[in-house]
Amino acid sequence: MKNLLNNPSALFAAILLIMTLPFRATAQRDSTAAIHIGFIYPVSSNGKQAASITNRFSLHAIAGLSKAETGASIAGVANVVKQDVGGVQMAGAANVIGGSASGVQMAGVANVIGGSAKGAQLAGFANVTGGEAQGAQLAGFLNLSESAGAAQIAGFANIAKKNAKGLQLAGFVNKGNEVNAQVAGFANVAKKVKGIQLAGFINIADSSDYPIAIFNFIKNGEKSVAFTIDETMTGIVSFRSGGRVLYGIAGVGYNFKDNPKAMYAAEGGLGAHIPLASSLRINLEAVGTALTDFHGGSYNKNSLRVLPALKLGNRFEAFAGPTLNYVSYERENDYDFIKKYIWKNNSSKDFQGVFVGFNAGLQYIF
């Protein structure tokens, strides 16, 4: 006894052994344990038989191993379950489940499930599900599943090998087959999109009516190259790409007025097609245009455009219409592109004004 008192680790092992003897006996008799308590396999109430025993509650200082879990399982580092789990699994690092899960899995690093998951999954780094993730997946970096029945939210990427019925929201990229809606900081990739596709740079899909990005490569959508001119005599060559309804605009150009310094243009925005007849439609556009001489002079314009468009054959379309514009620039530059304003700010440091202008162009559709 004195030796045990002088050796804390041995004392802990002895206490654990005494406490778990009833549980070990029960577990070996019917392969089911009400409580599974331990340190790390095989130092636990189920001992070396842990992998063949189903537990209703498990608590491990470091890691636990079991056949299945029907209630809660908590571990300082990892829960490892060979078959199915139900209830709640909480681990400092990982929950690794060979079968399916029907509860909530929370892990500091990762949840890895071989089958399907009916409940929510929350992980600091990644959720990986071999089957369908029917509940929400929330991860600091990656969500990966065969299919997703609810929302997937990740700091970097969401990947559903098949369909994603809920929202995919990622800091960088989303990928799926048939998806409901995708929102990503950089890119979305899908086959069929029912709702919106919103990306900071590019959307790719076979079918997507409402893509919102600078570049949209939609197989059944529309792409065109256009040349436009506006009231400031700025000519721009732009690439327009999108779906049946929404499209993105990105272009570069040059101002043809006789300026003291040559001024170059860049343009970006979003548009929407409103069909009126087989060869007639209205293109509504919200666009930002910046003119610069690359030596400190800049002219910034934000425009709303209403552009009736007439198709000329199968490939060409001509359009022209009024625009409502808000401009701002440093007063010392004193740009005289516009003479008449419907409103202007005479007291601010930078000039600000609103005026009605026009935009006209011709585009080649492919």
Q: How many angstroms separate the first and last alpha carbons of the chain?
A: 88
Q: Which of 69, 115, 124, 70 is nearest to 92 (CA)?
A: 124
Task: State the pTM of this model.
Answer: 0.86
> Which residue bears the tokens 């063949």?
52
Rounded CA-CA distance 117/106 in Å is 13
pLDDT at 6 over 60: no
Which is higher by pLDDT, 119 or 29?
119
DSSP summary character for residue 117:
B
pLDDT tens sequence across 121-177: 999 999 999 999 999 999 999 999 999 999 999 999 999 999 999 999 999 999 999
Average pLDDT, integer, range 91-97: 98
Q: Which fold has domain 224-365?
A: Porin (2.40.160)
Domain chopping of the chain, boundaries: 1-100, 116-220, 224-365
Rounded CA-CA distance 285/211 in Å is 14
